[in-house]
Every structure is written in structure tokens, then in C-alpha cells.
Amino acid sequence: MAQLLQHLINGLAAGTIYALVALGYTMVYGVLKLINFAHGDVMMVGVYMGYATAFALGRDMRSSLLGVAVVFAVAMLGCALLGFFIERFAYRPLREKPRLTALITAIGISFALSYGFQLDLGFLPGAAPRAFPEVIEPVEWLVIGDRDVVVWNWQVISFGIAVALMVGLQYLVFRTRFGRAMRAVSWDHRVAALMGIPTDRVIALTFMLSSALAAGAGLLYAIKDTSVSPLMGLYVGLKAFVAAVIGGIGHVPGAVVGGLVLGLVEEFVVGYAASTWRDAVAFGFLILVLLVKPGGLFGRVAAEKV
């Protein structure tokens, strides 16, 4: 029983991180019908920005509340900027070209970032994984029984940040004027423009938003994993993409559910079977979902697309 509870907690903590990254895939897919394969790598760059900031702040500063806030803010703003430039200079010129062109460009950017960050240029840390500094000093937040169940403070904080970001995003998409514009662009950007919606700006902002979310999620992942590496974007990105597809790509609540489901599935496989099975089961689960529901759990033809 206690073991089950522990896995549940771990699974949810991992799942919220997948969900945040999955939201980025789903939002960009929503407005552009583009699978942004570079999304995970943008996340990785954000983690390095946070890494550099944490070191710049120094040991005492970075584990203070203010320090954590600064690390997240720098990474998220930096990534928003990166997302803006990628959209503006890589994807926008291809907007009216066949969709495959943009897809291949996305893969190109993904490789450029993930392999570019392995170069040894002095200012980049190089190919080897690095320990991510303890921006949140681990403290046991809740211990049940004889350490049957242990909840760490970073799990709670991570869960809290992820949930806050998701709730904020839901609000933005479904309750604000900008969100309505996003949903209109997602349905048909040509018709959206006829409403006076500046579609280019909406698409740019969507990229910035999804990149910022990715940076936040990436930092949470790095804190959990206590490491950072140039290839983490490919790995986490792929998992989050799977989560987005499980939920039904383009569907905002679907991405959240897909992330949570994937986090839980992986945790239970690791807990009750073997950790070597984790990825196989994750992708197997994807295939299973797609066999039963080709559009993902929530993907319907008339589904709410963002």
C-alpha cells in the first residue's frame, strides 16, 4: 500500500513535467499544424541558461527563494526569446510551403542545438553530462511510517510550479482575449485574420509561451535528475511528444492528461517490473493508445484544438 502511494507520488511528479513540455508541442501544433521537433532542445538550452545563472548566483544565493525565482526567470525569458527567433527566422519563411519542409527544418534545428551544445567552445560545457546545482536543497517534506513513503520538498515545489503553470495556461487559452485569438488561429488562421487578429503575432507569442514553459519544465527535470546534458532535450522531448500524442495532439487538457498518464505508467514499470523496460513500455503504451484511439485519448475530429 505504502509502496503504491510512493509510486503514485513519484509518477505524478514526473508526469507534471512531461505535461508541461507536452503542452508546448500541442500549442505549437495547434496554431501551426507543425510538430516542433526542436521543442525538447529549446528546453535543453533553457536548462543550460538556468545552469549558468545558478552558478553566477553562487551557492548561497541560488538556493534562496529569490535565487530560484531568478534562475527560472532567466531560463524562461531566455527561452521565450530563443523560441521567438526560431519561429521568426526558421519557420515563418516556410509558412506557405509544404508542411514537410517545416518539419525537416524543425529536425534540423533540433540537431543543430543538441549537437551544437556538445561542441567544446570554451563557453559551452561540452558533451558530457554535468551535475545540476542544487537550486532547491533537498529536504524531506513528508515521511510516512518507517520511511515507507517519502515526499521530498522539491517534488512538492515541482508539482506546485507545474500545476500553477498549467492552470495559468488553461486560463489563458480558454478565458482571455489572447486565448480566444489563439484558438481562432488554430482553427483557421486565414479566417482568424478576417476578425482583425494579427495572426503572425499570435503565432510568435505561442512559440514564446511554449518555449518558456519548456524551460520551466526542463529546470524541474534537471532538479529531479540532478544533471544536465546536451542530449536531454532529445530524450525528454521525445517522451513529452509521446505524452502529447497520447492525449491527442492539439488538445490542451489532453497534453496534461497524457503527461500524467505517461509519468505514472513509467513509474509503475520501474517500480514493479524493471527500469530497463521503462522506455519500451512507454512507446508500447503509445502504440496501444493509437491502435484503440487513433486521434489520441481526447483527439476527435471536432475536438477543441489549440
Q: What residue ranges bind another protein (CB under 8 A)?
A: 177, 180-181, 183-184, 187-188, 190-191, 193-199, 302-305
CB nearer to another protein: pick between 194 and 287? 194
CB nearer to another protein: pick between 14 and 205? 205
Runs of H (alpha helix) within the chain = 2-32, 39-57, 59-62, 65-86, 99-116, 153-175, 177-187, 189-194, 199-225, 232-247, 252-272, 278-292
Q: Minimal distance in Å, beta carbon 21 to another protein?
A: 24
Q: Minimal distance in Å, beta carbon 298 to another protein?
A: 13
- Give the separation between CA 108 and CA 104, rounded to whole angstroms: 6
CB nearer to another protein: pick between 96 and 137? 96
Q: Minimal distance in Å, beta carbon 174 to another protein?
A: 10
Q: Minimal distance in Å, beta carbon 253 to another protein?
A: 13
CB nearer to another protein: pick between 8 and 193? 193
CB nearer to another protein: pick between 113 and 255? 255
- Give the separation between CA 131 and CA 255, rounded to whole angstroms: 29
Q: Minimal distance in Å, beta carbon 295 to another protein?
A: 14
Q: Minimal distance in Å, beta carbon 92 to another protein?
A: 13
CB nearer to another protein: pick between 255 and 260? 255
Residue 65 to residues 62, 71, 167, Cα–Cα distance (Å): 8, 10, 22
Q: Minimal distance in Å, beta carbon 180 to another protein?
A: 6
The residues that bridge with 142 in the sheet, in sequence order, are: 151
Three-class SS of residue 183? helix
- Give the separation between CA 294 and CA 288, rounded to whole angstroms: 9
CB nearer to another protein: pick between 130 and 180? 180
Residue 39 to residues 65, 88, 105, 159, 200, Cα–Cα distance (Å): 28, 15, 12, 21, 19
Angle at Cα 281 formed by Cα 132 and Cα 29, nearest 5°? 70
Measured over the CA atoms of residue 35, residue 234, residue 75 and residue 72, the dihedral's sign is: positive
CA-based nearest residue to 296, from 12, 25, 7: 25
- Give the separation between CA 185 and CA 18, rounded to whole angstroms: 25
Contact at 8 Å (CB) between 234 and 151? no
CB nearer to another protein: pick between 47 and 306? 306
Q: Minimal distance in Å, beta carbon 301 to another protein?
A: 10
